[in-house]
Amino acid sequence: MKKVALLGSTGSVGTQALDVMRLHPDRFKVTALAADSNALLLEEQVRAFRPDVALLAHPPSDYHPPEIPGVTWLMEETADKVIGGCDTVLNAIVGAQGLAASLETAKRGLRLCLANKESLVAGGALLMREIGKSGAQLLPVDSEHSAIFQCVEGKAERPVKLILTASGGPFRTWPSVRMKTVTPRQALTHPNWTMGKRITTDSATMVNKALEIVEAGWLFGMKAREIDVLVHPASIVHSMVKYRDGSVIAQMGIPDMRTPILYALSYPDRLETGAPDFDLVAAGPQSFFHTDAQRFPALRLGYDVLRDGGVSGAVFNAADEAAVDAFHAGRCGFLDIAMLCEGALHAATPVSNPTLEDILEADAFARRWVEQRLS
């Protein structure tokens, strides 16, 4: 029986995590639920799972939580306050604010199921250092990194190449001139996956894949030149690894986040997810294409950030968060998102071996820089 603290329980990953844990009540006990501001959904989840602790980080000003026997409510606290009493933390917080919770989980030596890619993008060196000290277990939840983990697990041989796959998003075949007209509604229409606003927009710009390049570098100890990206529209092959003898090992399955979520929670066991069975014949022929750096310039930034290190990941991530918010508010165009990220990276002051304070300062700088440019 694993005792699980779920951070970001009302988001896309969080709700799917609860779906799969509901299928296995003999294997999982939800000890804590933490959400940002969706009070109504959090209340439903608390009534269904009866955690010891429930956290609403940004409650409405007049909000009063319901009295539910055995449940302690926390208001306006940080997520690290809810991970006592668990052995597994699923961090599905959106954005750089998830880094603090990941660091606290690592310091306590717990299992960290990581869906918050910003923890590694912004604070990879810090997080991996804490994991090395405490012996905490880090398991990726992103489908691509879960696939790579499954391909390299138990193998002594180090791969020579990681091959991340990308759906290409909704604008894979659009010419550059047409992409200037992309609306927020169009950017939120992903062909394969159901995700939150930011990650869906990032998939459309391929910023998401750029962040995954950085994440893969930290997770698997790979350099930028050892990571490739291929466009795979069907999202059946979730990622691949290549070995020095030329062999390529891939992990395949239907595009359903419940599979990597449950694998991280139940590892090393494999449990039923409730997802449809994967039929290789029905899936049909699978196609792969090289990426187009001219139409998706954000992809190059991921390689730059992995090579540069320091606070560049924090700057890239924060600039993207600010730019995506501005895009959905009608304050900048779709193609401006990558341009703003690149501008912030050029404007930032490099910092070697950054502390948490350095990372937070770089995050704040990037947001200010984007706002000033938009103003």
pLDDT, tens digit only, all 375 positions of the chain: 999 999 999 999 999 999 999 999 999 999 999 999 999 999 999 999 999 999 999 998 889 999 999 999 999 777 778 998 999 999 999 888 899 999 999 999 999 999 999 899 999 999 999 999 999 999 999 999 999 999 999 898 999 999 999 998 899 999 989 999 999 999 998 777 667 788 899 999 999 999 999 999 999 999 999 999 999 999 999 999 999 999 999 999 999 999 999 999 999 999 999 989 999 999 999 999 999 988 999 999 999 999 999 999 999 999 999 999 999 999 999 999 999 999 999 999 999 899 999 999 999 999 999 999 999
What is the C-alpha end-to-end distance of the chain, expressed in Å? 52
Instruction: State whether residue 229 is helix, strand or coil.
Output: strand
Listed in order, strand segments (DSSP E) in the chain are 2-7, 28-35, 53-56, 72-75, 88-91, 111-114, 137-140, 161-166, 227-231, 237-242, 248-252, 289-290
Determine contact, residues 50/23, Cβ cutoff 8 Å: no
Same-domain status, 21 and 115: yes
Task: Among 93, 116, 140, identify where a domain stops.
Answer: 140
Round to whole Å and give the CA distance between 172 and 160.
28
How many structural domains is the chain composed of? 2
The pLDDT value recorded for residue 193 is 64
Rg of the chain in Å (alpha carbons): 20
Do 159 and 23 belong to one domain?
no
**Quick check: helix, strand or coil at residue 88?**
strand
Distance, in Å, from the CA atom of 340 to the CA atom of 324, rounded to the nearest integer, reads 10
pTM: 0.93
Pairing relationship of beta strands 28-35 and 2-7 according to DSSP bridges: parallel
Domain with 150, as residue range(s), is: 145-252+289-308
SS3 string, 119-172, reads HHHHHHHHHHHHHHHHCCEEEECCHHHHHHHHHHCCCCCCCCEEEEEECCCCCC
Yes or no: say if 302 and 209 are a contact pair by the CB < 8 Å rule.
yes
| 173 and 191 fall within a common domain | yes
Whether 54 and 177 map to the same domain: the answer is no
The answer to whether residue 301 is domain-embedded is yes
Residue 318 domain-assigned (yes or no): no
